[in-house]
Amino acid sequence: MKRLTVELGERSYPIWIGAGVLGQLPRLLEEAGINNQRKLFIVTDEHVAPLYLDKTTTVLRNAGYMVYHSIVEAGEKAKSLSIYERVMTEALEAGLDRQSAFLALGGGVVGDLAGFVAATYMRGVAFVQIPTTLLAHDSSVGGKVAVNHPLGKNIIGAFHQPRLVAYDTELLKTLPSREVAAGFAEVIKHGLIWDEAFVEWLEQNADGLQRFDDNLLQETLLRACSVKVAVVSEDEKERGLRAILNLGHTFGHAFEALCGYEKLNHGEAVAIGMVAAAMLAEHLGMASSISNRTRRILKQYSLPVVLPYAMEADAIIEVMRRDKKGEGGKLVFVLPTAIGKVEIRKDVAEEAVRDVLCALQEGGKL
């Protein structure tokens, strides 16, 4: 197993990465201060439950923990206030108290939902991230937890750091190919915002990574999580540097919302959003020759680079105005200036954004 540490003073926590991490969970919980005198409540979804819920429950019960669970529907629709209320009710019925802990067993949706429940249950209790998707390497680190509102993604949320992240790479091997591709979108993002050498490494190892070579996969997760750790350790609550992690997300969240959180998954929407951000940077004269390379690496990982569904540019902009990253109704973008470098821009004219959005639906070139 490999270990990273998110440095947040008294709230610092480890990220464990490797094959077989799940079997070590009781020891890792004990080290994190969650002993077997506490009740545990696992939140998972209908896709993950048949694969890993029994195994996780057995490991924990064999170590003396009292374990309860809630199975929610798969996908973004689980991040709703109605599902949040249901999980809260089930936790209360199970008798969880302030010493109990929630475990998120699943992808980013489950992590966001379980984390928000933990953040608000009795004003905040412990929780643990057990990611089962590649995409969740990003969302499981950093303490952002939330549910959606029909008018915007992740609008209702909090910052609530986990006690630990237990990332068992064996759990990734049952992922559908589309989910694997979605996960690589956020991996690539970490290179594009921070580390050109990592982008080059991803370009060179695309074939092996898509075959899920275990050594390459662990190295990928370590390097991608290291970027997230460095940023979050410096800026936990997104008052400055952490905003760079939103490359592609202002566009992407709007695409997801206008598709009803169904037609595009998060990674696909962010991939298209990163192309849009690169095109916008070029359109504004901030960079050159970035969008082509961005498209090329995303295509290597079977990700979309143009909008596959018709959307009105004005409708997209209206959704972006409500994005929580906006300020005073103005659009805020993370835009690349080079591969591995980005800037936060709060002064982008809507007409420039509209030009990019129209081009994105007409073949992807301005």
> Is 112 a known ligand-binding residue?
yes
The answer, yes or no, to whether residue 363 has pLDDT greater than 80, is: no
CA 208 to CA 97: how far, in whole Å? 46
> Is 152 a known ligand-binding residue?
no
> Is 133 a known ligand-binding residue?
yes
Q: Please give the average per-residue pLDDT across 300-312, as a whole number.
A: 93
Asked if residues 357 and 280 have their Cβ atoms less than 8 Å apart, the reply is no
User: What dihedral angle (degrees, nearest 10) is formed by the CA atoms of 254, 260, 263, 267?
Assistant: 40
> Is 153 a known ligand-binding residue?
yes
Domains of the chain: 2-172 (3.40.50.1970), 177-360 (1.20.1090.10)
Q: Please give the average per-residue pLDDT across 155-180, as a whole number.
A: 94
Express each pLDDT in 43-67 by its tens digit. 999 999 999 999 999 999 999 999 9
What pLDDT shows up at residue 322? 81
Express each pLDDT in 255-265 by its tens digit. 998 988 889 99
> Is 132 a known ligand-binding residue?
yes
The answer, yes or no, to whether residue 365 has pLDDT greater than 80, is: no
Q: Please give the average per-residue pLDDT across 128-151, as a whole number.
A: 94
What pLDDT shows up at residue 260? 85
What pLDDT shows up at residue 326? 64
The answer, yes or no, to whether residue 272 has pLDDT greater than 70, is: yes
CA 318 vs CA 164, 243, 364: distances in Å:
38, 21, 21
Edge to edge, what strands does the sheet with 39-45 contain? Answer: 2-6, 13-18, 164-168, 126-131, 101-106, 39-45, 66-72
> Is 144 a known ligand-binding residue?
yes
Express each pLDDT in 184-217 by its tens digit. 999 999 999 999 999 999 999 999 998 888 899 9
Catalytic residue positions? 123, 144, 186, 228, 238, 242, 246, 249, 253, 266
The answer, yes or no, to whether residue 325 has pLDDT greater than 70, is: no
The answer, yes or no, to whether residue 327 has pLDDT greater than 70, is: no
Q: Which residues have C-beta within 8 Å of that of residue 217, sequence separation ≥ 6?
A: 169, 172, 209
**Of residues 99 and 235, more confidently modeled:** 99
Q: Please give the average per-residue pLDDT across 25-29, as a whole number.
A: 98
Asked if residues 229 and 6 have their Cβ atoms less than 8 Å apart, the reply is yes
Q: Please give the average per-residue pLDDT across 159-182, as a whole number.
A: 94
The answer, yes or no, to whether residue 329 has pLDDT greater than 90, is: no
Asked if residues 228 and 264 have their Cβ atoms less than 8 Å apart, the reply is no
The answer, yes or no, to whether residue 309 has pLDDT greater than 80, is: yes
The answer, yes or no, to whether residue 315 has pLDDT greater than 90, is: yes
Express each pLDDT in 227-261 by its tens digit. 999 999 998 988 888 899 999 999 999 999 898 88
**Of residues 327 and 48, more confidently modeled:** 48
What pLDDT shows up at residue 172? 92
Q: Please give the average per-residue pLDDT across 102-116, as a whole number.
A: 97
What pLDDT shows up at residue 321? 87
The answer, yes or no, to whether residue 288 has pLDDT greater than 70, is: yes
